[in-house]
Amino acid sequence: MARIVRTDRELELPGVDAALRAAGHELRLLPDGIAEEILAHEMRETELLLMCYTPVSRRVIEGANRLKGIVKYGVGIDAIDIATARERGIPVVNVPEYAEETVAEGAVALMMALAKNHKRIEKAMNRDGWAWPEPRWLGADLSGKTLGLVGLGRIGTSVARMAGAFRMRVLAFDPYVKGTVPDLRAMLAESDFVSIHCVLNGETRHLVGEAELRAMKPTAYLINVSRGAIVDEMALLKALQDRRLAGAALDVYSQEPLAKQGHPLSALYEMDNVILSPHLTFYTREAMARLEADTLERCREVLEGRPVTVRSRDPRLRAQTRGVRFAG
């Protein structure tokens, strides 16, 4: 039976773990934040790697002489050195479809919370027991507002559909989708809410930087449920501190976990116009059930020597030529 390593054990996958062990495989669970040298050591005799957040570097892959596949139980693949895996003929696959609607719902929920001033009102209720209708509690309607989407893939498309139910005007910037707005800054300048839904890669890192933030209205809100590094987070922090934006709702950060002290973004905790979420917009019972089922099927494909099914449209995964088959 195979030796399998699953990193990021804090994200529990009881169904996957139990099924792999029931099949007789040796399963090693490693914590989030494990050092590269320890992971490299653990990978020496490993045939299958399951990962979520832990970086999988060239050193780790090159030292794993028996490795048959890497399964990302989630969507983002920026932590994997895919070029090295491709050189060595090791298929890499993610699970891109399990939480499309889930994350879209999370983004819309955060947008609504910002618009309705939920954080400030909840704090007042917890502190004083009640809040009378005063100008400082005024919220805003979504209806009639403009939503700018940065990225119009599966999740962005779902958000656009949901925003339509609120009778919002929806714009989108995505160089890979025909008919979207060609100028990012022009779209930002028109938007009352900006929601980010693109993958993180070399082209999108700090895609929303200082100049883009300056293009936004001072009454606008930013929502990011994609990847922290798509936004220049220090520029965002400065814009919020200088009140050049009305607020933000963030579920993702370049450096995770976020922390109240000692983190570059610790100051966000004190801001009443910022909603912080611990990278959990994907985390529902239904989505996790789908994630476990798809992850286990990808594992079985690797372990049984079958071509691994790639459902992602990401060109980094679509460039693979060995050990994979493409669907969707």
Q: How far is CA 183 from CA 60, 134, 173, 215, in A?
A: 40, 39, 7, 11
Task: Enter the pTM of the model.
Answer: 0.92
Q: What is the SS3 string spanning the chain?
A: CCEEEECCCCCCCHHHHHHHHHCCCEEEECCCCCCHHHHHHHCCCCCEEEECCCCECHHHHHCCCCCCEEEECCCCCCCECHHHHHHCCCCEECCCCCCHHHHHHHHHHHHHHHHCCHHHHHHHHHHHCCCCCCHHHCCCCCCCCEEEEECCCHHHHHHHHHHHHCCCEEEEECCCCCCCCCCHHHHHHHCCEEEECCCCCCCCCCCECHHHHHHCCCCCEEEECCCHHHECHHHHHHHHHCCCCCEEEECCCCCCCCCCCCCCCHHHHHCCCEEECCCCCCCCHHHHHHHHHHHHHHHHHHHCCCCEEECCCCHHHHCCCCCEEECC
Letter string b/e over residues 301-316, b meaning 16 or more CB atoms within 10 A of that residue's CB: bbbeeeebbbebebeb
pLDDT tens-place values along the chain, 328 residues long: 999 999 999 999 999 999 999 999 999 999 999 999 999 999 999 999 999 999 999 999 999 999 999 999 999 999 999 999 999 999 999 999 999 999 999 999 999 999 999 999 999 999 999 999 999 999 999 999 999 999 999 999 999 999 999 999 999 999 999 999 999 999 999 999 999 999 999 999 999 999 999 999 999 999 999 999 999 999 999 999 999 999 999 999 999 999 999 999 999 999 999 999 999 999 999 999 999 999 999 999 999 999 999 999 999 999 999 999 999 7
Contacts of 165 (CB under 8 A, 6+ apart): none
Check 6, 86, 197, 279 and give the catalytic one: 279
Check 25, 256, 313, 316 and give the catalytic one: 256
Burial of 263 (0-12, 13-18, 19+ CB in 10 A): middle
Active site annotation includes 256:
yes
Active site annotation includes 120:
no
Give CA angle at 251 (223, 123), nearest 5°. 85
Q: What phi-psi label fits residue 206: left (phi over 0), alpha (psi between -120 and 50 degrees) or beta?
A: left
Check 6, 86, 154, 227 and give the catalytic one: 227
Domain architecture of the chain: domains with CATH: 3-98+285-326 (3.40.50.720), 100-276 (3.40.50.720)
Active site annotation includes 227:
yes
Tokens of 161: 């559909």
